[in-house]
Amino acid sequence: MRDVAVVGVGMTKFGEVWEKSLRDLFVEAALAAIDDAGVDHVDYMTVGCMTSGLFVGQEHLASLMADYLGQKHLGACRVESACASGGLAFRTAFTEIASGMSDIVLAGGVEKMTDISGDGATYALAAAADQEYEVFHGATFPGLYALMAVAHMEKYGTTREMLSAVSVKNHNNGSMNPYAQYPFKVTREQVESSVMVASPLRILDCSPITDGGAAVILTTVDIAKKLGKPFIRVIGSGVATDAIALHSRDDLTTLKATKVAAEKAFKMAGKTIKDVDFAEVHDCFTIAEIVVSESLGLFEPGKAGEAVLKGETGLDGSFPINTSGGLKSKGHPVGATGVAQIIELVKQLRGEAENGRQLKTDPRIGMTQNMGGSGGSTLVHILEVG
Greatest CA separation for the chain: 56
- DSSP 3-state of 179: coil
Cα dihedral 345, 346, 352, 355, rounded to 10, equals: -30
CB 348 within 8 A of CB 120: no
CA atoms within 13 A on the CB side of 81: 23
Q: Which of 49, 83, 206, 284 is catalytic?
A: 83
Known catalytic residue at 83: yes
CB 111 within 8 A of CB 84: no
Known catalytic residue at 41: no
Q: Residue 371 contacts by C-beta under 8 Å, 6 or more apart in sequence?
A: 83, 84, 255, 257, 258, 282, 288, 292, 377, 378, 379
- Could you tell me which of 154, 219, 164, 157 has the C-alpha nearest to residue 190? 164
Q: SS3 sequence, 18-32? A: CCCCHHHHHHHHHHH
CB 242 within 8 A of CB 374: no
- DSSP 3-state of 253: coil
β-partners of residue 268 are none
CA 104 to chain CA mean position, Å = 22
Q: Residue 73 contacts by C-beta under 8 Å, 6 or more apart in sequence?
A: 66
Please state, in angstroms and as integers, the Cα–Cα distance from residue 258 to each residue in 43, 88, 152, 337, following that order.
Answer: 31, 14, 17, 16
Q: Which of 152, 171, 282, 332 is catalytic?
A: 332
- DSSP 3-state of 327: helix
Catalytic residues: 83, 332
